[in-house]
Structure 1
Amino acid sequence: MEQPKQSFQKSMSLLDATMLVAGSMIGSGIFIVSADISRHTGSAGWMMLIWVICGFMTLTAALTYGELSAMFPKAGGQYVYLREAYNPLVSFVFGWTFFAVIQTATIAAVGVAFAKFTAYLFPSLDEDVYLLTLGDYQISSAQVVAIAVITLLTFINSRGINSGKLVQTTLTLIKIASLLLLILFGFLAFKHEIWHVNWNAEDMWSLRRLNVDGTYESYSTFGAFGAISAAMVGALFSSDSWHSSSSVAGEIKNPKRNIGLSLALGTTIVTVIYLLTNLMYTAILDLPQMASAAKDRVAMSAAQEIFGPFGITIIAVMIMVSTFGCNNGIILAGARVYYSMAQDGLFFKKVGNLNKNAVPAYGLWLQCVIACMWCLSGKYGDLLDMITCVVVVFYVLAVAGVIRLRYTRPDLERPYKAFGYPYLPIIYILMGIAFIVLMLIYKPDYTVPGILITLAGVPIFYFVNSKVKKNV
């Protein structure tokens, strides 16, 4: 029997919250996206600089969000921050985009990534093995495995926050340790000739197009800007979901302190690991090897150089653990955003209720259904590219919201103030705007559809809001 007055249980420690942040960030991206980045940049220096820029942006945003989380330690995180800094329309449009694509399509993509690498151990689960064919529409084994994993993790999280946090903290500690060991063994297998080729003074800062056949092409001035923005997409996506702990504020002990700390610690840990991992790649593989890695699986190529043929199995298991844990964190955090929307009367009413285990089960299962639909659509990959620009738009708005709130609501208690204010927030805003503009100019085929999906939330808001007013 459901308990209407059930409240969130504050059972997440600082370690749990930090592992939620780090675990939600580390999925399959770090094992794959460096191939695309190497093709866009064509040099080790620029490839590393892309990761440094994206790491700086992520850390800056996380440190700035610390002020927001201390002021508004409520379930919903970014949705709540945008509502308080601006108005319900802005926060609803974020919530709509978050539910329609950002969170649910990400869950689908990570679920399919888990299945793809599971297929290295069990070939019958490969994405090329079709279980059903209806004309041009096909359902693969990988899609079915992804749906099964998403459903299992949703069930685990519906059993209570303790179940979800146990899976999250345990798997995140395992994958951090695994990545550190991979980095260690990678540097132990250091190849001096490869390092010299990648880091020679003549080419290390040459920004150019690297083709899969190993040839290079020069960029025009405008083309160089487009290449940088395109390269940043993969690195930013690999660092996304860094704000996960803010969404579960209602379940974190001492939230005014621990949310901000978990954001800072989690993003720092992941940023350092990402930089070390990519540096290790440059000590094992030359740039053409990275650019031409089969299906962009750079980590697979590196592991084969380090461990021999057994390296494929090692990386497959690592990515399975990584994506399973990543999806658990994303699933756990996402439902709290829909819960906050429902509490404001802007989402299905039942989503605003907690079950007997004190978690928003309706939100969890609704999220599961939409994510499974994305799995079956096969279009989640395209939509993730389309939405990257929009994700940064909302981050910029939230960071700008810190500055706005300093002027509009100076009386609010601020247990923690944004580090480097106002300089770091302003730098982030300028960098974010530059990225958005470059994406609009150079990748309109991806960014315009993403913006249209987001803008679709405006008429939906007014429709939902009119219904709410009629019922008041």
Structure 2
Amino acid sequence: MLVAGSMIGSGIFIVSADITRQTGSAGWLLFVWFITGFMTLTAALSYGELSAMFPKAGGQYIYLKEAYNPLISFLYGWSFFTVIQTATIAAVGVAFAKFTAYLFPSFSEDLVIVDIGFVQISPAQLLSIAVIVLLTYINTRGVSHAKWVQTIITLAKILSLTLLIVFGLASLKPAIWQANWLGGATWNLQHLNVDGSVETYTHMAAFGAIAAAMVGSIFSSDSWHSVAFIAGEVKNPQRNVGLSLALGTILVTLLYLLTNLMYTGVLTLPEMAAAEKDRVAVTASHVIFGHAGTAIIALMIMVSTFGCNNGLIMAGARVYYSMAKEGVFFKKVGTLNQQAVPAVALWLQAIIASLWCLSGRYGDLLDMISFVVVLFYMLTIIGIFILRKKRPTIPRPYKAFGYPVLPIIYIVMGISFCVLLMIYKPQYTWPGLMITLAGIPVYYVIAKKQITT
């Protein structure tokens, strides 16, 4: 439930609009989601080996430390704290507010209630912060409270998404399906503008367009590794963490592919590309259920994003807790409250995520997050090769499926994705890289302080 619940958030209901604009065809739309699913499952199956080797709280942070050195693991923890997890929590919070505003327009992101020149604050931003604070409080009350919230909400949104797929496929319109899938443009990679016009890509720009399209799908498929962060609180982690990763990613990948197949059966590509505020699921639900359907889907997505953020908030604080216990983060973050959860880490995470809520819009956050996320996924998977040479005798209850072929394929695809984003979307990828590298001097300042004390 934590793996699936952390993955299914806001993306599947929004990002297909931008992917459609970037690819301009039904075939490439599904291909982008398929490639992302393949990468996600490959990474999850690889992480299973690491989680079985090091079954304790901290997840990816611990894996990087064991494979490389404390600096690399700190840079991941630093990036996780400053960008990856906190900005993801913010993006999902902003999406919650975006769909709340559909039902209650007074929460619109287009309204401004505070204008102090360099930043404008909307009701949507304040609502997203309020949700983050509420879920943080729930998580400080103990894992059992958060677990039941996660389980109930995840079951509700999986059921809701499944019903949307079923009713959508039952409402499939033959004329639209034929236009999207049986016409000559099914595999024409082109840019589809909001007004319905198209632009062709040069050869290299086509690769850049695929990378740009994958930003949304990678974000939507991220956070699958959240269960590894709380491995120390999972029963029989050597078996259950790897199993959770595999089952959760397979389930969500299938749901995502079917959802996008459903979109192409009820909406034309121009309708998907021009969906108001990219709320393509709302546009599809209007076709499937009529006017009442838009309210149903908006409510469903509110539940989905609420549950997603609960999983993200629960898992994220465990990384900062692990860092603090090792003396490379604020000492107070490494303490537990009476409910045996890292409350200080949770509240510090909430503060940074709230600042991200005020900093920018949904799409801007996605670009920055996806680049940094894939960068560290690659380093972690390379770590499997390093550890097989460096620590060959350590028990491996589970070994990476398809090793070494599948991990190598992931690394090649990840490098291609990151390089193309740096070339074709530099305005957000370079800042993400700079924030990561800014952790280097921070690490040495902390290391020096540790030596002197």
Aligned counterpart in structure 1 of residue 400 of structure 2, from 418, 428, 450: 418
Aligned counterpart in structure 2 of residue 382 of structure 1, from 353, 360, 364: 364
Deviation at 1:190, TM superposition (A): 0.9
Q: Which amino acid aligns with 2:207?
A: F
Deviation at 1:382, TM superposition (A): 2.3
CA–CA distance in 2 between the matches of 1:123 and 1:177?
27
**How many residue pairs get matched?**
453
Q: Once superposed, what is the RMSD of the aligned Cα atoms?
A: 1.2
Deviation at 1:152, TM superposition (A): 0.7
Matched, 1:294 2:282: no
Matched, 1:428 2:410: yes
Q: How does 1:42-441 map to 2 (within 5 A)?
A: 42-135=24-117, 137-378=119-360, 381-441=363-423
3-state SS in 1 of match to 2:399: coil
Q: Which amino acid aligns with 1:144?
A: L
Deviation at 1:374, TM superposition (A): 1.8
CA–CA distance in 1 between the matches of 2:195 and 2:360?
29
Contact 1:105/1:380 (CA < 8 Å) preserved in 2? no
| Counterparts in 2 of 1:297 and 1:383: CA distance versus 1, 3 Å | closer
Structure 1 spans left out of the alignment, 5+ residues: 1-18
Contact 1:75/1:246 (CA < 8 Å) preserved in 2? yes
CA–CA distance in 1 between the matches of 2:327 and 2:105?
47
Which 10-residue stretch deviates more, 355-364 or 441-450? 441-450
Contact 1:161/1:359 (CA < 8 Å) preserved in 2? yes
Q: Give the TM-score normalised by structure 2.
A: 0.98
Structure 2 spans left out of the alignment, 5+ residues: none
Contact 2:93/2:132 (CA < 8 Å) preserved in 1? yes
CA–CA distance in 2 between the matches of 1:139 and 1:448?
26
Counterpart of 1:27 in structure 2 is: 9
CA–CA distance in 1 between the matches of 2:111 and 2:225?
36
Q: Give the TM-score normalised by structure 1.
A: 0.94
3-state SS in 1 of match to 2:336: coil
Contact 1:387/1:451 (CA < 8 Å) preserved in 2? no
Contact 1:374/1:380 (CA < 8 Å) preserved in 2? no
Deviation at 1:380, TM superposition (A): 6.7
Deviations 1:349-406 (A, max 9, x none): 1111111101011100111111112223336752431232121010001011111111
| Counterparts in 2 of 1:377 and 1:441: CA distance versus 1, 3 Å | closer
Contact 1:383/1:450 (CA < 8 Å) preserved in 2? no
CA–CA distance in 1 between the matches of 2:54 and 2:327?
19
Which 10-residue stretch deviates more, 74-83 or 119-128? 119-128
3-state SS in 1 of match to 2:191: strand
Matched, 1:38 2:20: yes
Determine what percentage of the aligned residue pairs are the same residue.
67
3-state SS in 2 of match to 1:209: strand
Deviations 1:73-127 (A, max 9, x none): 1111000000011000000001001101111111112112111211222222222
Counterpart of 2:430 in structure 1 is: 448
3-state SS in 1 of match to 2:244: helix
CA–CA distance in 2 between the matches of 1:393 and 1:274?
23
3-state SS in 2 of match to 1:359: coil
Q: Which amino acid aligns with 1:251?
A: E
CA–CA distance in 1 between the matches of 2:361 and 2:280?
23
Contact 2:136/2:347 (CA < 8 Å) preserved in 1? yes
CA–CA distance in 2 between the matches of 1:318 and 1:278?
17
Matched, 1:464 2:446: yes
